[in-house]
Structure 1
């Protein structure tokens, strides 16, 4: 009996399910036997069995409706997203309602306590009587009821309300993760199944036409010299056609496998994982509501009746049937497009080739052998990836099993994050299995074809065989012993796959027009289109850039006050706009400049002046990347060196999959740092935009971030060192203030420390430059560091140097508390309320009084009452000077005595 769609609402050992209760999906996956690992390269059928085994608990087989069978269409995806939004709104409503209940119970308990205090004044007056004793007991029981209700309110706050907030956060993360994975699956399917195949077909048609034309010329040639020349062209066209035919066959096979995996395994697996997690969350929500009712339930008959009704409503929650109504309303048959097949129309104009069969003859034997070697290497890497992901899944399952044994059933919400990671790991395993299967199928096609050949010679090309026999020995003598054309071509093909050796450095005196494209001053690389207008200022100004995401080169020209963009056409290794083609883009641009010909007859645009690229622009080849040293919002951060002088650098990368507007935000930091030069501001080395991925290259500050430095080195720091470092921060911020730059994210984590303990301001990703020094932000607070942000910025989105001063006060507090988190016991919302009511952070235990007074000035509620960074820097210099003067004397204050061990 299969129960993959009916997860249990309690975590119990596997043995309990073996007594008759069906185990949940995740437990079936965790305890299911692993496939044998003795076959490193299984055949295709065994791979399919492996996939079926991996997903057998995820795909409904008993006719029960599920996400994997009913929501595979785009309409189903939209319905799932709407359902997730609706459920999140419902959970938010529950949370607000439950928080109001906690507040009401606290107020009610307080009123009862106040009543008890008021009645206590009349006790003991007058003679004792049964009525007075009864009344005293009533008053006493009222106080007991007050304490009980107050305890209930605290239990509600720390129990169901807290768990509900955690459930909402996990639900939001699940929504984001599902959307990203669905989009990635669709993009990969579109690329493999549509874009790559269409490109191969287009190239196939072109090569078939070329081959047919070369064949006609060869057949029509009458003279020996013309016939030999036509024969050479015909042989080359055949080689290109056969080689591309093989690529097309392999591409079709890969697309077929990807199509099968996408619609039969990966997409249903993703949806079933989503359904399992949603049902698990529904089960947890049921337990939260049950706990809420148990804590808040009272004993009066009228209240009991109400709670019985609510309890019945909660009891009606059945996680396994939670989404049946949703499925009945929005479920639809999977919209599976027809699988790609070999397009036999491609053979109508070309050679008599077999559809779907690899061509193995004297022209292609070496390319097939080398392709097999390449595919085998890729398959080995893919198999290693599969094994690694299988081990990761097994490790997550073991960890989850151990945590389940020590976790109370009511605390299951704490395990949701790890369960979601497990489901994501399973999905990643399916993607790796798909890649492995595609390579395995291609390897089998190539290997089977070569095994058919055996140790013998490859078959000749039939159409050339007769011609080969017709060449007499006397004709060969007349040719002076020239090597036959076919042998020359075979030698050329073999040369393609010989190992490449390093070439000597190029000559220094190379004409500008012969330099590669990336060395041309007017080539700007992957420059966003929105930035072109800023660089082109006069009519006829031009530059060449790479189109983002399309792998095309674009000539951008300013004409009649508007930037115009022309895609440089590339065909037959020639580049053109209109008219003649040239072997390289620099030759094309040089011709257009010298001849002053219009780019196109219709536009009439003439090139006038090349706009050189920014002096900060580096080539990717100028860098030697080291190991990964961190990860940011946009991508990984690596250490590295400049090839020119071995300068150590930090390289921030931007993921290629990010949309253009996000990449523009990534480059915002470089735009700001280009203008600044200060010893306490991290230095920009350059940017790499010539190709993807885009890099920002900065000086490498090897001491790490200031926050980690405080927490690890704080016990050994002297007071004069701390004063010097906050003075460095103030000096850097004073410089930014003079440049009308608003940092917006000043904190210890965003400062770097050199090996000589010099502090540098870093991370300008949120920074803005405004002429009046004031920046008005719009949008939510999802990325705003609330505990470091000034009240006016949180309330009105108004950022200024004064708001940076507030953040600097928090930085001071972090420094002298040696890296402690600010407002440690408050959430972001509680922190906002605390600050609005006038609350501020207390003085750190070892902080000098003068520094704490400076903190309090930085935390003035009104921005105009805060000191400028210039005043802050001067005050810190004065404090530092006084400390040096006192260091040799006797401390009079107790706080100075506490700092004595640091001086």
Structure 2
């Protein structure tokens, strides 16, 4: 066709598979037009294209770059390039370097005036849950290599003369949404980092961190614990989530509240109750930031919160108001601390949630066996499947939750081996496993303590005022992102429900007890006929064949969303477990809760397809939830 600019047969790598295998690499016919790049099945014998397999709109492309080949890459996959857009990287393999260079050059020419072009990219592949170049474990993490300003993506004049907005841009509805918020690029060996928090060494191998001081990274073989050197020459291990790269990390500024959502920002600002109180948080749009500002002006009783997107010019400068552009976000914030420039107020007072440091993966480097004599038991939190759970202290000062495993309830030896792996899992929406006490009976499981307790109780009792749709969807977003991380690590939860999520003091929801159901020794629990089996959260393949997978977790997530939007009602409340096990495989589904609109309910129903393969992944669910959340805001 005359509108076709380029046409070529390439090998494409699947975007959905977690593991790389020959089945993930298939030949497709790629066709580039002015509006999109599309790929098709094709008949090699007849030389004809067949069905459309996918496409990317040119206007949505954020970056086009080559990709370094992996070790032992076969010859046919030596010349890879990547097209980055909202859903992540599309990996394409050309037959030779000349063809690859031709496509990259043409694509860069076509996208150089796009909005939201990336400043950094990943030069290596995302494979098996990690970026091979920088070892970050979040697929949407910002790139680790700065793009050359001459590469055609960031240079050149803007052809259109569309004016900038005359006033700061408040968050709006209606734009399609992003992947998960991007994280700043991670440090590399030899790089200087700054401590965001103080850290007191827990073991002889640890190194003390002093807030705002610089450290040199020496080794990064463990994702959660890096070996570092301080300015006095002392070396040891530090928690990797306590430091930030010196060059461009916002984390070192007290006004930046990472992983804070809109509802949490409003709650914090209203609690502080200062006119001009402000913070900067991740926007709903990936890789973007929002200034949240509290004002007592405007006549609203008690004051109100405004949310302003930090926008980017085609040249990569940041602005909140017309003609006030800055090279960095800290420069922008500094200016608006002295000038309102169209906002309801200047930024007068920093409001921060930075007092409490994040959880570490373990209580010190290499520590997974915890001495029970270092634990102090303070009060009972409740009784779970495996026994009593208590709130306590480790070494008299660190809050922990302690599960006291009832003898005979768990396959202990199998769990202890698994615990060593589970301790390395770290995500802001997972309850952190600190370690275990196995030298005596009963054994203890020591985890992060979350002050607002179980999500189910929080839904029923903790939401003191009538919750907004945004608040409820933010809860669902937290769970989806925690589960997306578990999915990327090939972990199956098997018992996902509101009762197995906890809520911290800021209202962040975290998934807990992932994978523990595998070690239950109670026959009544492991049989779908028994009353303890999570029948109400189980899909047909589990009810009929006890077949668990990440797709059975997806079904349970849909039920958990239903729990959230009914504020903790029991699913299928009028039916017995036996009736549910009989009727769900025959098509019974939960009704739409009153608080859930059609878009929210449609997310639930996509989780409840009969066929597991027709259900989305958690990564896809997280994107969809963010999309709806952005529209609601």
TM-score interval, normalised by the smaller of the two chains: 0.3 to 0.5
Task: Give the structure with the larger helix fraction.
Answer: 1
- Structure with greater contact order relative to length (CA < 8 Å, sep ≥ 6): 2
The TM-score with structure 2 as length reference comes to 0.39
Considering only CA atoms, is the larger Rg found in Structure 1 or Structure 2? Answer: 1
The TM-score with structure 1 as length reference comes to 0.28
